[in-house]
Structure 1
């Protein structure tokens, strides 16, 4: 053994943050910990490293030393090297070939010289370490002995990388985008210009704006100018970030916040940023350049490119951006690959090399070093969101974390954050909950845990970095889900665990494209709480309890109305309302209003935050919990009360139906109604509980609290919750979700073969509806249209008959078997029926559904009409086939009236509201100007109406109204774009209109166009209007395509208050009644209030995003796919 006390290192250059410099510090630390004196000597000292490295002239040569000579570029110190007396060891980092540098560059000359110096180094060095296989092969090619060249990647400290602090503020800014990262000097061989090409094509493929982040200093100004010229050429100035050289904190932030590392370099001696990407679980895509070490550095991790076609690379990245399973599999390969670079492995190889040099190493010091290099394990599951308060989401997060901790001890972390950003948890709470504090201390921002689960509001998910991203028992209360949230869920989550089947249905009906699982919420935490008594003022014996935020959704107004109608001040009863102060509720005013009524039964309001122990105390003192909710994701107070043995009255609809049923609780009847929430979502509904039914139920419990029937229901309620709703049950279901996601194939087959039964390619509203939808389906849906037989002259376009089979006639009966034969011929997964009573006989529709379900087909129906038909010659009712309709996977209707009709006949769980669509229309300002001039409308306030000219449309009333408007707006003009309908009544009504115009002397102020004009002309003439009026007097129709046409032009619309306009109630103005005076009043009001019109137009623009045919077709396609892929 050689007795060596000093082992030093030399490299010609040094640079802060540089891989070779970092590697030298890593080696120096190891040598010092082994007991050697160790310094670093360089020719060129980076100012930021002064004091950490020494100038080579200070080096005192000795034959008793070992000197590691790092070599990565030529230098002018040949004579100095030859003068050295000690044992020399070469550490070779590769030299970039000179061909990648301009000939006038110093790098060109020193690249050549550096290779020449290898011959010298071969003669004077005892052995060599190559940091890559490529470098080892190069040294051997220069004559180094194979037995004396060792491959040891001594370039980085993986442990330090992973545990180093990073810039959290920068992370929050960068992570909002889809980021492609490259780290490396801006120099010719790195090929950053080709990354610009990829970005250019990627932008065309993604609906999310991608950014390219180029981290690294410039060593070729000329090349940098070339790269930036490409950025300008492609107009990518907002999409490419040149950071220059950055601190380690920022560098590690970019790794954490990026989505893919892309390397198209033509030469890499090693490729340190690739391994750094591995360390941060950043998927790597790298080009396998000849004479580059990339293949070996990847070590079978990441994706290795064989060619550099920017279109194909962009397509690959686009797929990766949408396919989280593929991302997960790539990261798994990288986690295997990085084991070769982890500190314990690399250090062990280095120790063996030192021992090969016959150095005696202290065994205890070796073991201590290796022990210290063990990585801190990432948590298996990190739950992110609030967890430190009585807030229901906080409770769900911490209780789920506790339950999971029983499955994965010390591998479950908590991270404190809300929808709008991170926050520090309450210290007092942490002190009182050591188990929660321990899990919080394990938490880390942006961690790539095996599973990251969130529950927070708003539901921010774009910055989740788990291998599997999920929500933690997610809840939603109304039927519509915000499109932005849905888009983010589909993009950033792997699955959606939810609180209840109710929430699952909402998500499917909104078009979610990831699997949804019912996980539920545990309730048994309530059994572990020692109740504390809250001092109540009441002396009444029987206590009804209501606990909620007091928001409209909670139905407190319904409760107060029912309670005060069911009881009086003489009754020995009190209603205790527990809420908390909040600017969004008006509980005190509401309670005050009812208390002021004569003979009001006693009400006690607790309007303050209470510790949970007091809430449990209130439960235990109460005789019945009453929760007449309009919409609930789960209904935790109901579950808690039931587990504590308290009778529960609640609405027979919502998330509480997961555990509330007629056998264990008292359920309030309801009607569907428009949701009125702060979300202001179009077409959204919830339910209105029946006040009368609630009053009856409250009286029943009051009179029968001690009865056997009530006690039996209480017992069953407890059994239900203990059987299925303990936290151990819910956590196991969440683990099952994780396992399901793990087992999903990387590339899911989302192809669906659909049979579409509808009228088609004729002048029929349902045929048009089908065309609007089918034209917008993606190629994933292969559609076979099975339509009715019609004469060839009725077919609009023969070119649209290729995929059509016509086998049935209107009023079809036995022809359903021909339909089934056509379905049996093909590999059909899904059957979609567009239905109106006249198309297929109602009883045979029932038989068709039965046969399709026997064949295991997914069946969907759109009911374009639901009301019973009772004519002398034709009768039909959906009531006749309720049993068959209950087997349909989803029934779609267009209005709340339709929903309520189906509810009344017993169809609720498989029914969804699906709005009518609107075709977005482009307008030409030039064409609008042409018609204004042509019709003499320039400079006028134009009031218009549009649609067929029929008596019930109220055009005469509009003319009368316009006569009053003229008194206030003398420059106004009435534009009646009302074509004649081919019935006698239409011509007769035209004469009435003309007579009215003449009688009022409005011939010059009214333009009446009754021709059936081309659609393009109609569009641009109607677009001249300042306001469009639909003054209908009466109608049996359920919706108006004419009003939707005007809205598609983003025009303010006035309607009379009729049911036909209910589906557009959010985006039109209504008159008080159908009289001409009321119509005139509303027109005058709008023309006087441009700011009100402007607000409504903005609302119309938002509405159009929701009901455009593009949006609705995508939603429907996702629903169809969901039932094929996940059910």
Structure 2
């Protein structure tokens, strides 16, 4: 939407809402609202003000909280209308027309409405946990969220129920009396204020570093950090780590005692600016509160606050993406890393340009007054409820893909591509495949019952020499699909190759250019990633790789996990008289198959039931051939030919999976690797057998549902093999979690997430605002 101070950032406001007729739709309806209402926790503030606004609109609201002693809460005491509507018991056996809920953690299974909705939901990460995705899709009819950022996060993560953006209100502080003095003594210094929990996500470390870099003791400024005690508060430790720099710095004050709303309002009014270099916000309520009180705001150019923090209403700080370290983050989530230098520049700009500061703050105030009152939020909530009856699936959007990928070859990229594009989400979408030429690496003919993506046409143009690369570049001009999509590995396309292709790629007639990178570390070893800017989206399999691509300057890295095949229904069982360990994947030294053999030999001395199956295809290079020779020599030297089965040929996937199903345990004991994600481990997940993994970062997203060895020392591996072979309860301990993860990361599900991201970009102008 257009970003000027007259236009709401929310789609629900596009069509002017007739408030009277909207409210009439809820006449006679019973509405139950439960959640957190007690205290000055942000969730309670939002729930109290939303409930009050709904009551003021005449909604027949009944409220409930599971919190103890809510009757004595001083904050709730200021809302007598809500207290009168509170009931002590939860209505398990009753049914309401509408059930609204806002709790943390979210619970969805016991809601009692004919229409059930989570409302005013906040989320600060790009990845919404898959277990919550399942709960929301299963149990809810609607979720309303507080910013466009949260809506995008939900869509990327696979939430398929209606998600409507209602925003947050922020007019509660401005309505308070103004006669309360500032809780801090007056100072001749200009006050730079920060208000937050000081979780790592809030960026207080970035703020303190920028303050120390930008100001000296004789500068007439001070930094005040208003926070509260909590286990994740890092403000004190950040200052302690920088104690040697404080002597030459202006004063820094940390306030962790409770302020009532009037005191907090007075503290805002005493500030020259509010600074929030957050790594991610669902909305950023303190920023909006400060703006309404005429306080300029400096904040990160990322996440939920961008609904109202714009270049003409705030001072935005450059950032790049990095792997999230938040306590609620999953292994695929990203957050922003604000620039310390640019933060300092923006704080200076506010101080040095008072007229501009006043102009931006007035525009911010106008925007917030027009669209961010609690009444506006309540009206949008009712509008969302009125339109969100579950409907049939939206019509499938019509767009096609020209794909650059290896195809039907002995290659992990080819296997990945064939699985991804054979899903229902991509049925009929593949217009043309620009495939790699075949050089003695063609796959056997696929079984007739195997479903494969069928392109309308295919050409094998590229691979192995510069001339073929130039042929590909020439043919791209003739492509006619809507989306050009490259599956990239530096073993196929080097940095010079991609620099040569970048200009032809940007010159094609495609509406969108998409890149999937399968080995960012190895690509970085080959040189710069500047060529990635020829693509509008870069899909990656890990947060670390997305961080590297963002740091290289790409504005739109998106993390989607590597896909997993569905578990076959006719799975053979392991031989109960043995305990069989399996390992597979292309044979390279970093996979430590030699260590596995040695550890197996050691463990066999204590557990004669052990057997080992190795399915490690040799690749045509000296390292792989040497690894094979070492393993064969070890097996012969140790006299284990009758206990170890070793195959080094390429095994068709269907046969391979059936072999793996005869194993009791599958091991991946990788050392250092430049891989982004391992397709071999995903195949292991697809046969539903326990996993044993090393601490290699390439296996990071498998750790939550795998047995993980402390190290890849032979004794440590042998101990793990024995423990798992001799303790069935330990072996099966993570079976449920692994099966659930295989469902979450299934190819149909990850394919749908790709489609969601692509269709969002196709449906709007490509937006590079989020990351500088």
Q: Which of residues 678, 692, 701 is equivalent to 1:1053?
A: 692
Mapped pair 1:786 → 2:435 = no
CA 738–534 in structure 1, closer or farther in 2 if over 3 Å, else same: same
Q: Which of residues 541, 566, 589 is equivalent to 2:189?
A: 541
Superposed displacement of residue 1057, structure 1: 3.9
Aligned length: 705
Superposed displacement of residue 731, structure 1: 3.9
CA 956–494 in structure 1, closer or farther in 2 if over 3 Å, else same: closer
Alpha-carbon distance between aligned partners in 1 of 2:210 and 2:716, rounded to the nearest angstrom: 37
Mapped pair 1:980 → 2:618 = yes
CA 851–1110 in structure 1, closer or farther in 2 if over 3 Å, else same: closer
Q: Which of residues 269, 279, 284 is equivalent to 1:630?
A: 279
Alpha-carbon distance between aligned partners in 2 of 1:1092 and 1:550, rounded to the nearest angstrom: 39
Mapped pair 1:483 → 2:130 = yes
CA 677–380 in structure 1, closer or farther in 2 if over 3 Å, else same: same
Q: Secondary structure at the match of 2:335?
A: strand
Alpha-carbon distance between aligned partners in 1 of 2:620 and 2:201, rounded to the nearest angstrom: 49
Alpha-carbon distance between aligned partners in 2 of 1:944 and 1:570, rounded to the nearest angstrom: 67
Alpha-carbon distance between aligned partners in 2 of 1:1093 and 1:556, rounded to the nearest angstrom: 43
The aligned counterpart of 1:32 is none
CA 662–586 in structure 1, closer or farther in 2 if over 3 Å, else same: same
The aligned counterpart of 2:19 is none
Report if aligned partners of 1:868, 1:876 keep a CA contact under 8 Å in 2.
Answer: no
The aligned counterpart of 1:1043 is 681
Alpha-carbon distance between aligned partners in 2 of 1:533 and 1:710, rounded to the nearest angstrom: 24
The aligned counterpart of 1:917 is 563
Provide Cα deviations, 1:620-654, integer angstroms capped at 9, x if missing partner: 22333232322211000111112222233322221
Alpha-carbon distance between aligned partners in 2 of 1:497 and 1:525, rounded to the nearest angstrom: 20
Larger helix share, 1 or 2 = 1
The aligned counterpart of 1:415 is 62
Which protein is bigger by CA-based radius of gyration? 1
Provide Cα deviations, 1:158-203, integer angstroms capped at 9, x if missing partner: xxxxxxxxxxxxxxxxxxxxxxxxxxxxxxxxxxxxxxxxxxxxxx
Mapped pair 1:395 → 2:45 = yes
Report if aligned partners of 1:974, 1:1006 keep a CA contact under 8 Å in 2.
Answer: yes
The aligned counterpart of 2:456 is 805
CA 831–466 in structure 1, closer or farther in 2 if over 3 Å, else same: farther
Provide Cα deviations, 1:1002-1056, integer angstroms capped at 9, x if missing partner: 7679846134356546764686465724344554x33222233345544343336
Report if aligned partners of 1:580, 1:609 keep a CA contact under 8 Å in 2.
Answer: yes
Superposed displacement of residue 1116, structure 1: 5.0
Superposed displacement of residue 831, structure 1: 5.5
Report if aligned partners of 1:448, 1:466 keep a CA contact under 8 Å in 2.
Answer: yes
Alpha-carbon distance between aligned partners in 2 of 1:1095 and 1:645, rounded to the nearest angstrom: 56
The aligned counterpart of 1:1028 is 667
TM-score (norm 1): 0.53
Segments of 5+ residues of structure 1 without an aligned counterpart are 1-334, 337-375, 824-829, 854-858
Mapped pair 1:433 → 2:71 = no
Moved more, 959-968 or 473-482: 959-968
Mapped pair 1:604 → 2:253 = yes
Report if aligned partners of 1:750, 1:1125 keep a CA contact under 8 Å in 2.
Answer: no
Q: Secondary structure at the match of 2:259?
A: coil
The aligned counterpart of 1:621 is 270
Alpha-carbon distance between aligned partners in 1 of 2:38 and 2:590, rounded to the nearest angstrom: 61
Q: Secondary structure at the match of 1:477?
A: coil
Q: Which of residues 634, 647, 662 is equivalent to 1:1010?
A: 647
Superposed displacement of residue 961, structure 1: 7.3
1:813-824 → structure 2 map (5 Å cutoff): 813=473, 815=475, 819-820=479-480
Alpha-carbon distance between aligned partners in 2 of 1:473 and 1:803, rounded to the nearest angstrom: 44
State the superposition RMSD in angstroms. Answer: 5.0
Alpha-carbon distance between aligned partners in 1 of 2:73 and 2:339, rounded to the nearest angstrom: 45
Mapped pair 1:836 → 2:488 = yes
Superposed displacement of residue 914, structure 1: 0.9
CA 556–428 in structure 1, closer or farther in 2 if over 3 Å, else same: closer
Superposed displacement of residue 509, structure 1: 0.7
Alpha-carbon distance between aligned partners in 1 of 2:737 and 2:90, rounded to the nearest angstrom: 41
Report if aligned partners of 2:663, 2:689 keep a CA contact under 8 Å in 1.
Answer: no
The aligned counterpart of 2:575 is 929
Provide Cα deviations, 1:919-964, integer angstroms capped at 9, x if missing partner: 254699975327x75xxxx6xxx77643333345444566677789
The aligned counterpart of 1:271 is none
Superposed displacement of residue 505, structure 1: 0.5
Q: Secondary structure at the match of 1:681?
A: coil
The aligned counterpart of 1:455 is 102
Report if aligned partners of 2:419, 2:452 keep a CA contact under 8 Å in 1.
Answer: no
1:30-41 → structure 2 map (5 Å cutoff): none
Q: Secondary structure at the match of 1:480?
A: coil
Report if aligned partners of 2:167, 2:372 keep a CA contact under 8 Å in 1.
Answer: yes
CA 553–757 in structure 1, closer or farther in 2 if over 3 Å, else same: same
Alpha-carbon distance between aligned partners in 2 of 1:561 and 1:716, rounded to the nearest angstrom: 30
1:138-153 → structure 2 map (5 Å cutoff): none
CA 564–1101 in structure 1, closer or farther in 2 if over 3 Å, else same: farther
Alpha-carbon distance between aligned partners in 2 of 1:598 and 1:549, rounded to the nearest angstrom: 24
TM-score (norm 2): 0.74
Provide Cα deviations, 1:279-306, integer angstroms capped at 9, x if missing partner: xxxxxxxxxxxxxxxxxxxxxxxxxxxx
Superposed displacement of residue 738, structure 1: 4.5
* Larger RCO of the pair (alpha carbons < 8 Å, separation 6+): 2
The aligned counterpart of 1:585 is 232
Superposed displacement of residue 1125, structure 1: 11
Superposed displacement of residue 673, structure 1: 3.1
Report if aligned partners of 1:401, 1:413 keep a CA contact under 8 Å in 2.
Answer: no
Provide Cα deviations, 1:543-602, integer angstroms capped at 9, x if missing partner: 3332223333333444445555666777665443333344x4345763673486574654
Segments of 5+ residues of structure 2 without an aligned counterpart are 1-23, 463-471, 766-772
CA 717–1031 in structure 1, closer or farther in 2 if over 3 Å, else same: same
Provide Cα deviations, 1:894-923, integer angstroms capped at 9, x if missing partner: 233443355356654x65211101225469
Alpha-carbon distance between aligned partners in 2 of 1:555 and 1:1033, rounded to the nearest angstrom: 31
CA 794–564 in structure 1, closer or farther in 2 if over 3 Å, else same: same
Alpha-carbon distance between aligned partners in 1 of 2:643 and 2:209, rounded to the nearest angstrom: 51
Q: Which of residues 741, 744, 765 is equivalent to 1:1103?
A: 741
The aligned counterpart of 1:1080 is 714
